[in-house]
């Protein structure tokens, strides 16, 4: 995929973070939000920008899942250590 201009990448990053709060947001609405934000900044919309937004969302979702899994494992490890200490 061609690199997107900095201004577009900035919009994509902001929208991806905002859309992370609503993982059920339909692709049509994701695209409409992107088009609206680009229009506000007087930037022409291109399909590849939506593809970039989708990839950014996927990355952020994966990172959030990873963060939650690590947090859960650390919590379970802590509980195990507390239980072991209590049994001594």
Query: 25 lies in a domain?
Result: yes
pLDDT digits (tens, 9 = 90+) for 8-63: 999 999 999 998 888 788 889 999 999 999 999 999 988 899 999 999 999 998 99
Query: Can you give the pTM of this predicted structure?
Result: 0.68
Whole-number pLDDT of residue 25: 85
How many domains would you assign to the chain? Answer: 1
Write out the DSSP string of 2-58: PPPPHHHHHHHHHHHHHHHT-TT--HHHHHHHHHHHHHHTT----HHHHHHHHHHHH
Whole-number pLDDT of residue 2: 66
Query: 29 lies in a domain?
Result: yes
Structural domain including 17 reads: 6-87
Query: 51 lies in a domain?
Result: yes
Query: 1 lies in a domain?
Result: no
As given in the structure block, the two tokens for residue 58 are 């996927």
Whole-number pLDDT of residue 87: 85
Query: 14 lies in a domain?
Result: yes
């Amino acid at each position: 995929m061609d690199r997107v201009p900095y201004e577009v990448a900035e919009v994509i990053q902001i929208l991806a973070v905002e859309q992370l709060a609503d993982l059920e947001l339909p692709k049509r609405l994701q695209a409409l939000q992107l088009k609206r934000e680009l229009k506000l900044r007087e930037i022409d919309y291109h399909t590849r920008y939506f593809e970039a937004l989708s990839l950014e969302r996927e990355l952020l979702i994966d990172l959030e899942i990873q963060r939650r899994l690590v947090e859960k494992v650390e919590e379970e490890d802590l509980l195990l250590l507390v239980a072991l200490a209590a049994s001594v």
